[in-house]
Structure 1
Amino acid sequence: MSNDEKRPGSPPDIVVNAIPRTVLFGIVAALTLVWSPCAAAEAVPDSAIRYVALGDSRATGSLDDPLSLRDGCFRTSDGYPQIVADTLHAGSFVDRSCAGAKTENITEKPQLTITGPQPPQIDALAPNTTLVTVSIGGNDIAWSSLVEPCYTLIPAADANCRSDATTARRVDAALAALGPKVSATLAAITAKAPTATVFLVGHGGIFGDHGCWPYIPTSDADAAWVVQFFVRMNDVLADAARTNGAHFVDVAGAARGHDACAGSDRRWFEGLLPQSLAMPLHPNHSGLTAMAALVVAAYR
C-alpha cells in the first residue's frame, strides 16, 4: 500500500505526519507496555515493605492448600500473612507462624514440632523490618478448654456454663495472666524491630449469639456467654497493644454474622466439627482472606 493510500477509519494525514516516526513508535511501545496483560499482572514488589509474620495456627492457614511439613508448623499458602504479603507486594516476607505456638515460643523458647524444635520466632526480626503481624495468646490460656464446659452431647440441651462458678474463676485467672505475657512479647518485638509497624490480630469470631449442634454444641445462652469471653480476651489484647505502641486488629467485630453457625456462603470460621477443609475452631479460607483484608486496611 502506498503512503498516499488510507485505510478505512485511519486518522487524517496531518495528525500522523505532524509526529516524528521515532516519537510515534516510542508512544506506541510505551502504551503497549502499560496496557499489556503481562505488565498489569506483574506487580512490582514494594522493597520498602519488609514483612515478618509471627504467631500460632490462626495464621498458618486452612487445609484448602497442601500443608508444608518442612518445619512441622503446618503452614499453608492461604494463611492470612501470605495473603497480606501478596496484597501489599512486600519486598521481603518471612512467615514464622507455627501451629501450637505460645508467647514464649515467639520470644525465647524453642517450639517442639513433629519435625523437631523450631527456634524462637523473634529471631526472624531485624532492625530494618518494617511490618510485623502477631497472632498469639489462645494457646497460652488454652481457650478451647475454658469454654468446653459449655458443650452438650444432646441437641437443644443447656450446659449452663455461664452460671458455673468454677468456669468463671478459671476464665478470670487465665485472662489476668494473659495480659503480662502478651505485653512482654510485644515489647520484645519492638526492641528487636524498633522501626516496624506491629499489628496484634485479635481473637474471636468463631461463636455467635446462638449454638448450632453439633458444630457449636451449646445452648444459645451459653454461646452468647462465650462471645463475651472473647470480648474480654480482646480487651486484654488491645490493652497490651496500646501499652506497647502496637495496633490491635479487631477480628471479632468484623466477623459478626460470619461465625461457625453461619451459612456456607457467609461462614469465616469452623466449629467443633468442621464443615470445610479447616481445623476445628479455626478460620477457613474465607476467614483467612477476611483477616488479611482487615490487616491490609489497618496498614494502609
Structure 2
Amino acid sequence: MVLSSPALGSADPQIRYVALGDSRAAGPYLDAGALLDGCSRSNLGYPAVVAQVLRPQSFTNVSCTGARTDHVTSVPQPTPTGPVPPQVEALAPDTTLVTLSIGGNDIGWSGLVSACYTSAPSVDANCRTDPAVASRMDAALGTLGAKVTATLGAIARRAPNARVLLVGHGGIFGARGCWPNIPTSDADAAFVSGFFTRMNRVLAGAAATSGAQFVDVTVGAEGHDACALPGNNFFEGRHSSSLARQLHPTESGMRHMARRVVDVLQRAG
C-alpha cells in the first residue's frame, strides 16, 4: 500500500485527530525538533504521517517518550522541560479519531528480554528455557490487559464519539539474532519475538473489550526487523545505524506503522 494524501487544501472537516502514547508514537531523535522537545516528539513519527495522509481538520499529538498508561489517564509525566499533563486532557467531545501506542513502559519490556542477551557472538543464553524469565514475562503480561483496558475506557469517556485505534508492539526481533545489534541466539530471538506476539494478543483483547480497533504493526514487517540491512530495517536494535533511538522504529518503520493505521481505517471505515 502506498501512502498518498488528498490535494492540498482539501482538509477533511469530519476528522479531528488526537495521537496519544509513548515513544513508539513520539519517534525520539528522528528529527531536530525531537531533540528539543521535552517528550522527544518528532514530526516523523507515525501520527504525523497519518495526519499527512488523512489531512484532518485538526491534529494534536501529545505522545511522549517514556509514557505509561497512568501518564495517559491521570498522572502528569515528568520531562526534561517540565511535567506534561495527562494526555487524555487533549481529547474533546468532538474528537473523532484517536491513536494510542502504550504498554511497553508499563511492563518494562527491554528489561524482561535482556536475560536473552549474550556478551559474545555464537553464545546461547538459553533464556527460552529459563523458568524465571518465563515467570517474569507471564507476570508482566498478566497485569497489562487491565491497565490498557482502563486507559481505553478513559479515552472513551473524554472522546465518546471517537474511533480509537490501539497500535500494537513488536517488530524489533525476528527469527534470528545478529550480535551485537540483537545479541541473542537465533532460538532466543524467536522466543522474544513470540513474547511480543503474546503482548499483542493482550493488547488486541483490551481493544476488543473496549470497542477500540487493534492495529498489528508486525503485519508486513517480516524481514524488516533490527537484523535487516540498514535501509531495509523498520526497527533499530541495540546499536542504531540511523537517527532513530535504539530499539525503536526507524523513519521507514514509522511510515510502515502509518500504513498499517491507514489500512485499518480504510478497511473498517
Interval of TM-score (by shorter of Structure 1 and Structure 2)? over 0.9
Give the RMSD, CA atoms, in angstroms.
Answer: 1.2
Write out aligned runs for 1:244-283 (5 A): 244-283=210-249
Partner of 2:65: 99
Q: 1:202 aligns with which of 155, 160, 168?
A: 168
Match status 1:146 vs 2:112:
yes
The 8 Å contact of residues 215 and 272 in structure 1, kept in 2 or not, is answered as yes
Give the aligned residue type for 2:139.
A
The 8 Å contact of residues 125 and 188 in structure 2, kept in 1 or not, is answered as yes
The 8 Å contact of residues 150 and 218 in structure 1, kept in 2 or not, is answered as yes
Q: 1:295 aligns with which of 261, 266, 269?
A: 261
**Structure 2 CA distance, aligned partners of 1:114 and 1:65?**
17
**Structure 1 CA distance, aligned partners of 2:38 and 2:241?**
25
**Structure 2 CA distance, aligned partners of 1:80 and 1:43?**
21
The 4+ residue runs of structure 1 with deviation greater than 3 A are 68-71
**1:81-132: per-residue Cα shift (whole Å, max 9, x none)?**
0110111011100000000000000000000011111100000000010000
Q: Helix, strand or coil for the counterpart of 1:145? A: helix
Q: Which has the higher contact order (CA 8 A, sep 6+)?
A: 2
TM-score (norm. length: structure 2): 0.94
Question: Please, which runs of 5 or more residues in structure 1 have no aligned partner?
Answer: 1-39
Q: Helix, strand or coil for the counterpart of 2:20? A: strand
1:41: how far off? 5.2
Match status 1:185 vs 2:151:
yes
**1:197-239: per-residue Cα shift (whole Å, max 9, x none)?**
0000000000000000111000000000001100100000000
**1:8-37: per-residue Cα shift (whole Å, max 9, x none)?**
xxxxxxxxxxxxxxxxxxxxxxxxxxxxxx
The number of equivalent residue pairs is 261
Partner of 1:219: 185
Between structure 1 and structure 2, the one with the greater Rg is 1
Partner of 1:85: 51
Is the alpha carbon distance of 1:64 and 1:110 closer, same or farther for their aligned partners in structure 2, counting shifts above 3 Å?
Answer: closer
**Structure 2 CA distance, aligned partners of 1:107 and 1:76?**
22
Question: Please, which runs of 5 or more residues in structure 2 have no aligned partner?
Answer: 1-5
The 8 Å contact of residues 29 and 40 in structure 2, kept in 1 or not, is answered as no
The 8 Å contact of residues 62 and 285 in structure 1, kept in 2 or not, is answered as no
TM-score (norm. length: structure 1): 0.85
